Structure 1
Amino acid sequence: MSIFQTVKNFINDERGVTAIEYAVLGVAISAIMLALFSGQTGLGASLQNAFAQIVAQLDAAILAAQSQ
């Protein structure tokens, strides 16, 4: 087998391509999740604020019900 044929076979070999594609996809999803849930302005902060408001309203409702 000639060097040209060996190089051609190497270029056409796609056995490892799928694993690399999954790795790149995993890194992209991780970066998106990190961007969404990190920082003071991300989705994580918005969810924390929403749950804090829900807890405050439930506490107020429980106190009002207990005082009646």
Structure 2
Amino acid sequence: MINIYSYLQSQKGGTAIEYGLVAAGISLAIAVAVFAFGDGLEELYNNTFTDALEG
């Protein structure tokens, strides 16, 4: 009975879940940024690359 109680009081599983939620939040933020700014960044890089090739 003591082992079950100590298992339920363990913080290890909760910490892993918290890290997973943080990672999911960061991934979501990156995805939103890519969709919001992706076209503008693509145009910027294409123009820079074209200018570099033309001299």
Bin for the TM-score computed over the shorter chain: 0.5 to 0.7
| TM-score, normalised via structure 1 length | 0.57
CA-based RMSD of the aligned residues comes to 2.5
Alignment partner of 1:24 is 2:21: yes
Structure with the higher helix share, 1 or 2: 2
Aligned residue runs from structure 1 range 3-22, under 5 A: 6=5, 10=8, 12-22=9-19
Where in structure 1 do 4 or more consecutive aligned residues deviate above 3 Å?
none
The unaligned stretches of length 5 or more in structure 2 are none
Which amino acid letter does the alignment assign opposite residue 47 of structure 2?
A: Q
> Considering only CA atoms, is the larger Rg found in Structure 1 or Structure 2?
1
| TM-score, normalised via structure 2 length | 0.67
